[in-house]
């Protein structure tokens, strides 16, 4: 029998991002994409409009002389023209470099030069950054402004000069389509390049009911920025499902609240601080939280009280864990098989963990003192968390060597516990976990317990050198405005929540806690600030 008689599938269909926007335009062409701009103006387009503009943009980039594989940078908030760029750049074979505007100047200089960005697309609100960095960015040849033509050509005019008669550039599933830099705690930021195929698979997996759970009726307002970790893949997964997107260039709670109400938003996604600000806003105004069906929360641990309040409001909390290196979704918390049998408290406890791996991702933990020893998934033993899968990094951009072991395991730098039902419970970062008398104390759990106190705005636990115990926890606390809460009050609050030997040796009140450009507590800066701190033996 010849091979032809055995039948075949259409595996010449290459996994390219262009399929995603073609599908969205064809099947959900009229589904709206709303943008509330920084100046308060609003515009509306739809998936068909995004595709037409992406085709024009691809032409416009070629007209500038941009070639397949070259990098095009964006310095922008969430809006429809940024979305167009995600598809326009990939559609002409380019690589979109989404730059985080909150990075420090040296980091901004480093990453744009390192990526050799040729074009810089930016929001007018970031003109001061452009003015400061222009002379330091040595490879950028063209500046285009997304929302004004005052200092650079305006995006709409630039793509408006094209007719959109363009064929997407074809290639391999392994071609790159996007690059994000991750600013680690040491050294220069590192580039993580996503590929067409890895991005497409990641987005498909994100559509599982236990993940984003989108339907055609979903209306998503993503607060997670398009410049951070591919906005958790939402612009792709949302296109696949044909959802309505509502984008806002402002993250003011009042603006988000009004948009959520008016546009019938069902889903949102963002870091916990977004909800903290929203709670404060609603409390100050004496109004209810928006009636969302689901909120995906990740990027840092979602505190228990936040989960509780959202769940009581009828909102399903999907606590997600991932990193720039993992595209970024590793795990997401959805209802487990035994969900209906759980009490409300048990549901909150489960949701406070980081969820289960989505299809395609494998996790394991290894012994912190012996990294060759794999640990049991017993819901008790914590260890260094490792991950592998088709959308997990293998090698950083321009790096000489792979960053995974010979079996593909990537070290996340996180510490966690795996439960028998596959749930991941993150307990710390390997660099932040506190070693006291040979035993590990989770700085994150200590912080979470502390922020549960009504008068604590923010808390950070750091292991300080101790003559007897090696390290002991010190808790740095920012009080709520106007609060005089004392160390004794906080200790009383902590006592029933944590083991006795986890109790901090000292509580220090500070005006602020340093943050990284992605809004996470910077323990490194905090340690630097208190480098002469001494605990008594
Ligand atoms: P980034 O690459 O900037 O997105 O940072 C990734 C890191 O953020 C992870 O390695 C974790 O340490 C932390 N992280 C992300 N999601 C969570 C979560 N749900 N709970 C606790 N930490 C998280």
219 and 90 housed in the same domain:
no
What's the CA-to-centroid distance between 486 and ligand 1, angstroms? 30
376 and 520 housed in the same domain:
no
Q: How confident is the model at residue 517 (pLDDT cuts 50, 70, 90)?
A: confident
The C-alpha atoms of residue 87 and residue 97 are separated, in whole angstroms, by: 13
The C-alpha atoms of residue 273 and residue 283 are separated, in whole angstroms, by: 15
The residue whose CB lies within 8 Å of the most ligand 1 atoms, and thus the one to mutate among 225, 299, 382, is: 299
Q: Would residue 13 show up in a list of annotated catalytic residues for this protein?
A: no
CA of 516, closest atom in ligand 1: 3
> Got the DSSP string for 381-400?
-EEEEEEESTTS-SS-TT-S
Average pLDDT, the chain: 94
pLDDT single digits (tens) 458-509: 999 999 999 888 899 999 999 998 999 999 999 999 999 988 999 999 999 9
C-alpha 203, offset from chain centre: 14
Residue 348 within a domain: yes
Grouping H, G, I as helix, E, B as strand and the rest as coil, residue 5 is helix
Question: Last residue of a domain, which of 403, 429, 455?
Answer: 429
Q: State the CATH number of the domain containing residue 440.
A: 3.30.300.30
382 and 262 housed in the same domain:
no
CB-count exposure of residue 165 (10 Å: 0-12, 13-18, 19+): exposed
pLDDT at 53 over 80: yes
Residue 93 within a domain: yes
252 and 229 housed in the same domain:
yes
What's the CA-to-centroid distance between 523 and ligand 1, angstroms? 14
Q: How confident is the model at residue 63 (pLDDT cuts 50, 70, 90)?
A: very high
Determine which residue's CA is closest to atom 22 belonging to ligand 1: 300
Percent pLDDT > 70 in the chain is 99
> What is the reported pLDDT for 418?
98
Determine which residue's CA is closest to atom 1 belonging to ligand 1: 323
Grouping H, G, I as helix, E, B as strand and the rest as coil, residue 442 is coil
pLDDT single digits (tens) 221-232: 999 999 999 999
Q: State the CATH number of the domain containing residue 53.
A: 3.40.50.12780
Question: Last residue of a domain, which of 402, 429, 456?
Answer: 429
Residue 128 within a domain: yes
What's the CA-to-centroid distance between 133 and ligand 1, angstroms? 29
181 and 218 housed in the same domain:
no
Catalytic residue, from 182, 336, 351, 516: name it: 182
pLDDT at 185 over 70: no
> What is the reported pLDDT for 1?
61
What's the CA-to-centroid distance between 532 and ligand 1, angstroms? 29
163 and 89 housed in the same domain:
yes
pLDDT single digits (tens) 380-412: 999 999 999 999 999 999 999 999 999 999 999
Decide: 518 in ligand 1 pocket, CB within 6 A: yes
Q: Would residue 156 show up in a list of annotated catalytic residues for this protein?
A: no
Q: State the CATH number of the domain containing residue 366.
A: 2.30.38.10
Full domain range(s) for residue 385 = 361-429
Question: Among 160, 142, 163, 141, which residue's Cα sits nearest to residue 152?
Answer: 142
Cα 174 to Cα 15, 51, 171, 180, 440: the distances in Å are 9, 23, 8, 17, 41
Decide: 476 in ligand 1 pocket, CB within 6 A: no
315 and 367 housed in the same domain:
no
Decide: 313 in ligand 1 pocket, CB within 6 A: no
The DSSP output letter for 58 is H
Q: Would residue 325 show up in a list of annotated catalytic residues for this protein?
A: yes
The C-alpha atoms of residue 55 and residue 92 are separated, in whole angstroms, by: 8
226 and 187 housed in the same domain:
no
Task: Determine how many CB atoms are found less than 10 A away from the CB of residue 466.
Answer: 19
Residue 416 within a domain: yes
Grouping H, G, I as helix, E, B as strand and the rest as coil, residue 524 is helix
What's the CA-to-centroid distance between 403 and ligand 1, angstroms? 18
Residue 178 within a domain: yes
243 and 174 housed in the same domain:
no
Residue 23 within a domain: no
Alpha-carbon dihedral angle through residues 257, 261, 262, 268, given to the nearest 10 degrees: 70
- DSSP bridge partners of 220: 245, 267
Q: Would residue 435 show up in a list of annotated catalytic residues for this protein?
A: yes
Question: Last residue of a domain, which of 409, 429, 449?
Answer: 429
Which are the contacts of 75, defined by CB distance < 8 A and separation ≥ 6?
99, 101, 120, 121, 122, 123, 126, 129, 130, 227
- DSSP bridge partners of 270: 297
301 and 170 housed in the same domain:
no
Residue 446 within a domain: yes
The C-alpha atoms of residue 90 and residue 96 are separated, in whole angstroms, by: 7
Q: Which residue has the tokens 């008398």?
A: 437
Per the structure block, which two tokens stand in for 367?
């012994």
Q: Provide the number of structural domains found in the chain.
A: 4
Residue 193 within a domain: yes
pLDDT single digits (tens) 295-335: 999 998 898 889 999 999 999 999 999 999 999 999 999 88
The residue whose CB lies within 8 Å of the most ligand 1 atoms, and thus the one to mutate among 323, 410, 445, 451, is: 323
pLDDT at 74 over 60: yes
271 and 368 housed in the same domain:
no
């Amino acid at each position: 029998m010849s091979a032809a008689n055995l039948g075949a599938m259409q595996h010449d269909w290459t996994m390219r991002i262009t399929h995603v926007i073609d599908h969205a335009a064809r099947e959900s062409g009229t589904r709206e994409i709303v943008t509330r701009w920084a100046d308060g103006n609003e515009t509306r387009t739809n998936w068909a409009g995004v595709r037409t503009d992406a085709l024009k943009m691809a032409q416009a980039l070629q007209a500038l002389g941009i070639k397949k594989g070259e990098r095009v940078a964006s310095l922008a908030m969430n809006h429809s023209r940024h979305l167009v760029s995600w598809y326009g750049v990939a559609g002409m074979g380019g690589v979109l470099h989404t730059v985080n505007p909150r990075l420090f100047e040296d980091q901004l200089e480093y990453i744009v030069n390192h990526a050799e960005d040729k074009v810089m697309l930016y929001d007018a609100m970031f003109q001061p950054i452009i003015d400061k960095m222009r002379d330091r960015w040595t490879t950028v040849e063209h500046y285009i402004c997304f929302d004004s033509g005052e200092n650079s050509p305006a995006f709409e005019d630039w793509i408006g000069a094209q007719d959109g008669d363009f064929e997407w550039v074809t290639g391999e599933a392994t071609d790159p389509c996007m690059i994000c830099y991750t600013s680690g705690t040491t050294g220069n930021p590192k580039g993580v390049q996503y590929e067409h195929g890895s991005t497409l698979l990641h987005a498909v997996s994100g559509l599982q009911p236990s993940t984003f759970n989108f339907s055609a009726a979903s209306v998503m307002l993503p607060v997670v920025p398009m410049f951070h970790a591919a906005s958790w893949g939402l612009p792709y997964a949302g296109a696949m499902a044909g959802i309505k997107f509502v984008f806002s260039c402002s993250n003011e709670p009042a603006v988000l609240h009004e948009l959520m109400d008016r546009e019938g938003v069902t889903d949102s996604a963002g870091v916990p601080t977004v909800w903290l600000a929203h709670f404060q806003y609603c409390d100050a105004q004496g109004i209810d939280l928006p009636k969302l069906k689901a909120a995906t929360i990740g990027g840092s641990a979602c505190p228990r009280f936040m989960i509780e309040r959202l769940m009581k409001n009828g909102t399903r909390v999907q606590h997600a864990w991932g990193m720039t290196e993992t595209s970024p979704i590793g795990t997401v918390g959805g209802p487990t098989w035994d969900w209906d049998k759980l009490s409300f408290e048990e549901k909150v406890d489960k949701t406070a963990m980081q969820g289960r791996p989505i299809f395609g991702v494998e996790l394991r933990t290894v012994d912190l003192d012996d990294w060759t020893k794999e640990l049991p998934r017993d819901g008790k033993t914590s260890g260094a968390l490792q991950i592998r899968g088709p959308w997990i990094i293998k090698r950083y951009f321009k790096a000489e060597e792979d960053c995974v072991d010979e079996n593909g395991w990537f070290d996340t730098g996180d510490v966690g516990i795996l439960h028998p039902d596959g749930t991941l419970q993150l307990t710390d970062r390997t660099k932040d976990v506190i070693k006291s008398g040979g035993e590990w104390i989770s700085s994150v759990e200590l912080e979470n317990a502390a922020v549960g106190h009504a008068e604590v705005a923010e808390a950070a636990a750091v292991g300080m050198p101790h003559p007897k115990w090696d390290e002991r926890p010190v808790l740095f606390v920012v009080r709520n405005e106007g609060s005089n809460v004392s160390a004794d009050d906080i200790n009383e609050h902590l006592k029933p929540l944590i083991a006795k030997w986890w109790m901090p040796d000292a509580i220090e009140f500070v005006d602020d806690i340093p943050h990284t450009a992605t809004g996470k507590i910077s323990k490194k800066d905090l340690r630097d600030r208190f480098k002469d701190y001494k605990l008594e033996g």
